[in-house]
Chains A and B, each alone.
Chain A
Amino acid sequence: MSRIQLENVTKKFGSVTALKNVSLDIKDKEFFVLFGPAGAGKTTILNCIAGIQLPEEGVVKFDGEIVNLVDAAHRDTAMVFENYALYPQMTVYDNMASPLRSKLYKKDEDYIKTKIQEVAAMMKMENLLERLPSQLSNGQKQRVAMGRALVRSPRVYLMDEPLAHLDAKLRNAMRTELKEIQANFGTTSIYVTHDFMEAMSLGDRIAIINEGEVIQIGTGDEIYYMPCNEFVAQLMGDPEINLISGTLAKSEDGYTFTMEGAQKTYELPKEKELFAKLGELGLSKVDIGMRPQNLLYSFEPKEGYIKCSVYSYESIGNKSVIVAETSGLQLRMIAPNGLSVKIDQDIYVDMQLDHAMFFDAGTKGYLTRYNEAAVRAIAAEQEG
Chain B
Amino acid sequence: MNTASNRLSRVIQNGLLAIYAIFALFPLIWMIILSFKSDAQMYNTTFIFTPTLANYKAVLFESDYLTYMLDSLIVSGGAVVVSVVAGVPAAYALARYNFKKKEDIAFQILSFKFAPEILVVLPLFMIYQKLHIYDTYFGLIWVYQLISMPLLIWVVRGYFEDISVEIEYAAQVDGYNWYQIFFKNLIPLIKPGLVSAALLAFIFAWNSFTFPLMLGGTNIQPITVAITKFLGTDSAHYGQLAVASAISALPAIIFALCIQKHLVRGLSFGAVKG
Q: Which residues of A contact B (CB under 8 A)?
A: 47, 50-52, 71-75, 77-79, 81-89, 98-99, 102-105, 132-136, 138, 141, 148, 165
Contact = CB atoms under 8 A, between A and B. Distances in A.
A297 B167 CA distance: 53
Interface residues of B, number: 23
28 contacts: A51-B172, A52-B172, A71-B172, A73-B175, A73-B176, A75-B173, A77-B173, A79-B173, A81-B169, A81-B170, A82-B273, A83-B164, A83-B272, A84-B166, A85-B272, A87-B170, A87-B171, A88-B267, A88-B268, A88-B271, A98-B174, A102-B174, A102-B180, A103-B175, A105-B174, A133-B270, A134-B270, A165-B273
Contacts of B271: 84-88, 133-134
A83 B174 CA distance: 16
Contact of B167 (A74, A85, A165): A85
A89 B267 contact: yes
A138 B270 CA distance: 9
Nearest to B163: A88
Given A85-B272, A87-B271, A134-B269, A79 B175 contact: no
Most B C-beta atoms less than 10 A away, residue of A102, A104, A134, A165: A102
Contact of B175 (A47, A104, A132): A104
Contacts of B177: 73
Nearest to A149: B173
Interface in B179-227: 180, 185, 188-189
A50 B271 CA distance: 21
B270 A79 contact: no
Nearest to B166: A85
A40 to B, nearest CB: 19
**Closest 7 CB pairs between A and B?**
A134-B270, A88-B271, A102-B175, A85-B166, A104-B175, A72-B172, A99-B174
A62 to B, nearest CB: 14
Given A51-B173, A81-B166, A103-B180, 10 more contacts: A50-B169, A73-B177, A74-B175, A83-B273, A85-B169, A86-B167, A87-B170, A89-B267, A98-B171, A148-B170
A207 B169 CA distance: 24
Contacts of B172: 51-52, 71-73
Interface in B219-274: 267-273
B245 to A, nearest CB: 40
A149 to B, nearest CB: 9
A98 B175 CA distance: 9
Nearest to B177: A73
Nearest to B270: A134
Nearest to B172: A72
Contacts of A72: 169, 172-173
A138 B272 CA distance: 9
A138 B174 CA distance: 22
B273 A138 contact: yes
A50 B174 CA distance: 11
A50 B172 CA distance: 9
B175 A85 contact: no
Contacts of B173: 50-52, 72-73, 75, 77-79, 99
A84 B271 CA distance: 8
Nearest to A88: B271
Contacts of A73: 172-177
A89 B270 contact: no
Contacts of B164: 83, 85
Nearest to B169: A52
